[in-house]
Chains A and B, each alone.
Chain A
């Protein structure tokens, strides 16, 4: 093909992106792990022979640039020693991986005797051993407690199963049937890729495919540079805080993000962020980069294909030894929290540069909840849930509520299934009024869920945050409400619990988690009174909050806005505000 044939190039892009999606769908349908199914915590991709990302399937933003990092680790280990029929695997965060539950599987695709591309998959597995079921504890302090570490190895060598590796995995994970089921799903996706690439080679020839893969990445780079060039240059720094790491309780952890934008390039620099912490919330560089790219991509254009072309335009800097780029022996199983918050932090810096493009902070990422123990028949149960749910106010609209966080396309578990499979009763799952930060465009309302323990006892583990450092507002919008953990809500023994906790829950005890609410965007006194009336009507904002936060006076049910009283109240609130500012 001639490089000047844009139609052929577009057709190829379509085909290779569709192939990435077909791989993703294969895993989605065949997988065993609930994390794969509900959180879409897996990704698929095609890379070229140098390990550069060419196309990625639509699943988890949080994996955006993890695949090339992992694949390149394999290429460093194996060099030329890669043959047809090999399958490579790893999960070691300190040798290409992200955290131990994420197992990468790569299969080289050969054409005319040479490596043409790699089929790439990564899945979050149900368990990889270590001290707690699920291998996902936030209170481990070393990677050695977190499970089985797999360096870059061959899972298959020239088509022959590496039985040593399979046996080691089998002996080290709690649920080998599930883990092997998910590995088979990964292998099936690789097979789809092999067949699809063979079709493309039949059409374009091996060299043609190589040239078209190059063009696919170059196109992304052109598109990204075009988007970047249209934005004004500048530099801005934003600081946000994680409440603590559960080990050093109450010690806040700084995230510092500096965005520098010049011409058609951007730098996202995490220098100044806290040193790596004892708790298991440390990031690898690749995960920090995923958070950075996700934020940048949301603001630049949703249409940029995810590949190396984007990475060429945006440089991510994360000094080693920090929470943004931890080194051995840092624990990192629960680093999901940090990724979510880094995306928010990067949004904060971008908002300073491009205020009309960026939303205020959402709930701060998912809350991980695990309740495990034994039921009446001494059969073990383990309930793992991730809650997410609201966005900050946007420069053009309210923040969403009851919607997944941007960083992971999560689905919520069915209440009825939770109750059918676990000795738990769920008492509510609903939006909480007056929790979204006030603003011209308000933050989304927080979600809460409440459980009652029906077995004799079990261990409750919660990984939440934003209990102290609340979601930020922008442009005069208020912070969202704090997250809360409560034992026996509304009962005689009600008490507040720490955001991250491990405790015993006994029969009949009730635990409630309320997520943080989204931050507001813009001055709440400029909110359209009709929008406040809508919130009053729906019971999302109380009449008292309408008056005190929005300066809106309403009577009756359904509410009717008193226009004159509203204007007068807003005037008084503005005056009080400017007096406050002078004082």
Chain B
């Protein structure tokens, strides 16, 4: 029977999910093989599939690009830029991510200064040539790069978005002279004004391109070796799939592929079960991430930072990582996961995270040398997790070690019982996670209470009810296989191409012809790529967006454009923008204030032949698990039933209750109730009064 496979590589585990033609789902979780991730994939596939010829599609999310950046082992890369501007990559936008921080160090530029070479040339902002490209300087720059033995070359000249002629000439010369080198050209990657974001994005692309290309080439060969002839598609940070060949050319697009896949899966599932408004909550071992699905659309941002690490603080402070000015699913991430360390600070105040015990030594209960209590230790000490172990029992947990660590490090100094200390820490961790959720909702003018919370990741279902109660969210959805949900998301994503271009004009003075031409060109490029991906015209859809602001404002809002020609779009834009401004900031400017168009973009989407989501994913019956003692604030130790997902019926069951699965544990606290829906989701109802 034909099947499609989704593969998500994480730091610790490689998750594989297959959907069969009849809707049945198979999953497998295997340890990642960081030295050569392809090995783990092939090992997992051998277990997951019986007949390689049955595979019709392989969908993949990988950390290979972001790892190259985090570990600094990308390609030896050179840059050719306009004379006077070699330091753009180093100066960045000057800003630092932490105030008052004398120990702050910038991440080193991906291209070192001696490999950043300048050529004399100048294009004006209107695209006219002020100074022609100096061929002799270009020759000597290329000779220098050859002598340095670069494997990749980034090309970024000023105002190339307005006229790419000089960049094209440089690229042609580089390709001729250095045929082995990967070439990344800024106007092809990001034809938009502002040299730093464009340079940074181009540099990231160049730095990871040989690494990603080698990885994808090797993976494709291995899949063929296994007998899988199906196309390989990659998840992009924007939530759309792209052909592997495209990802190899523009790897900057796949940097945040794994987290994006989870949100896409949540959006597809939400649409399927008729939930339009969902906040996604993905909690793993070190971090928790929140995203937003509104009217079925995933909230996106226009830029992301890669390699920034995790900040417990505000999203206001940027600069910790490398900037990518590309559309990405907007995820707010905080340093709260199962491994987050719980401590008292110098003034005796309790803190949960952002430091993490990681996988090694891990929480105290792993018995691998960790002595500081973590969030997982607290969950175990209170009976929420099963001491018999995680991942189906492959990892046994030492509850005594957890209790000891909490007693000596927290409860003792605080002068309280172990249970109170552990419960306090879980509440603090939940508060940190709520900041991520507020960042995508309240900070954008959205009332979190209007949304349902979809919780996944290994730890998401454990915390979801408490967080929902704090935020006033009444409904929590825990999808099937929450611990492998990103791999599942891959299987329900669509192929998508995002293209944008700068176009700055006051809307009331806009040249409709120019706007029409820009929209047509963007649409045509999307159509072309979808055609390359094999989508016939009737299976192509598009969304058009404008970035706009009031004249004089310095931040844009994204507005979805209606169908119709440029003139009618322009006529409607001021009202559409004002409505969005009101929704986001709570007010609109007087009508006399003109609106400015800043950029246009088109999202071209390839539609699948048939729905990609199965009608339902019925849970597998699990063996009986004895009830266990769990501690709840105000109630103390309570004998708490422990069920498998299949044992939860369609009728609501009141908490306290623990739904224990292979890959995650769902906690239903007293006051809340849980039931199974027709699809196979656990639905938690959180009463207004909250949980106890």
Contact = CB atoms under 8 A, between A and B. Distances in A.
A186 B539 CA distance: 47
A26 B585 contact: yes
Contact of A402 (B92, B103, B350, B425): B92
Given A25-B443, A223-B346, A404 B96 contact: yes
Contacts of B132: none
Given A6-B349, A14-B435, A430-B86, A539 B106 contact: no
Nearest to A535: B113
A564 to B, nearest CB: 26
A59 B94 CA distance: 14
Interface string A424-453: 011111110000000000000001001000
A403 B550 CA distance: 30
Contacts of A29: 555, 584-585
A396 B345 CA distance: 24
Given A184-B587, A404-B96, A431 B104 contact: no
Contacts of B550: 32, 181
Interface stretch (A245-253, A330-338, A405-413): A405-413
A21 B316 contact: yes
A471 interface: no
Contacts of B317: 58, 409
Nearest to A191: B586
B424 interface: yes
Interface residues of A, number: 88
B92 A538 contact: no
A575 interface: no
A52 interface: no
Contacts of B105: 397, 400
A409 B347 CA distance: 28
A402 B554 contact: no
Interface centre among B90, B159, B313 (most CB of A within 10 A): B90
Contacts of B88: 415, 429
A329 interface: no
B55 to A, nearest CB: 46
B632 interface: no
A537 interface: yes
Given A415-B195, A416-B194, A402 B91 contact: yes
Contacts of A303: 345
A538 B112 contact: yes
Interface residues of B, number: 72
Contacts of B124: 419
A181 B592 CA distance: 12
A14 B353 CA distance: 13
A38 B318 CA distance: 12
A540 interface: yes
Contacts of A178: 552
Contacts of A162: none
A210 B432 CA distance: 23
Interface in A53-112: 57-59, 61
Interface stretch (A134-142, A294-302, A315-323, A493-501): A294-302
A31 B438 CA distance: 21
Given A26-B585, A428-B83, A420 B427 contact: no
A31 B553 contact: yes
Contacts of A537: 112, 114
B85 A7 contact: no
B297 interface: no
B585 A302 contact: no
Contacts of B94: 388-389, 402-404, 410-412
Contacts of A21: 313-314, 316
A31 B581 CA distance: 12
A447 B105 CA distance: 18
A134 to B, nearest CB: 14
Contact of A414 (B101, B194, B346, B552): B194
A312 interface: no
B438 A30 contact: no
Interface centre among B94, B113, B196, B428 (most CB of A within 10 A): B94
Nearest to A297: B100
B90 A298 contact: no
A417 B95 contact: no
Contacts of B585: 26, 29-30, 185, 188
Interface centre among A177, A299, A303, A389 (most CB of B within 10 A): A177
A311 interface: no
Contacts of B196: 414
Contacts of B414: 6
B195 A416 contact: yes
B346 A181 contact: no
Given A14-B432, A430-B84, A539-B113, A6 B586 contact: no
A6 B348 contact: yes
A510 interface: no
Contacts of A15: 431
A488 interface: no
A569 interface: no
A412 B554 contact: no
Contact of B431 (A14, A25, A30): A14
A352 interface: no
Nearest to B472: A199
Contact of A415 (B158, B348, B553): B158
A537 B113 CA distance: 8
A145 interface: no
A36 B425 CA distance: 37
Nearest to B102: A298
B99 interface: yes
Interface string A342-376: 00000000000000011100000000000000000
Contacts of A272: none
Given A406-B100, A415-B195, A429-B85, A447 B91 contact: yes
A419 B159 contact: yes
B93 interface: yes
Contact of B114 (A388, A406, A539): A539
A416 B125 contact: yes
Contacts of A227: 346
A184 B100 contact: no
A22 B104 contact: no
B313 A181 contact: no
A24 B314 contact: yes
Contacts of A419: 124-125, 158-159
Interface of B: 83-88, 90-96, 98-106, 112-114, 122, 124-125, 130, 158-159, 193-196, 313-317, 345-351, 414, 424-425, 427-428, 431-432, 435, 438, 442-443, 504, 550-555, 581, 584-587, 589, 593
10 cross-chain pairs, A with B, having the tightest CB-CB distances, nearest first = A428-B84, A7-B424, A402-B91, A538-B113, A37-B554, A223-B347, A420-B125, A21-B314, A222-B347, A414-B194
Given A388-B94, A427-B84, 12 more contacts: A21-B313, A25-B315, A30-B585, A58-B99, A297-B100, A302-B98, A400-B106, A402-B92, A412-B91, A416-B159, A420-B504, A425-B130
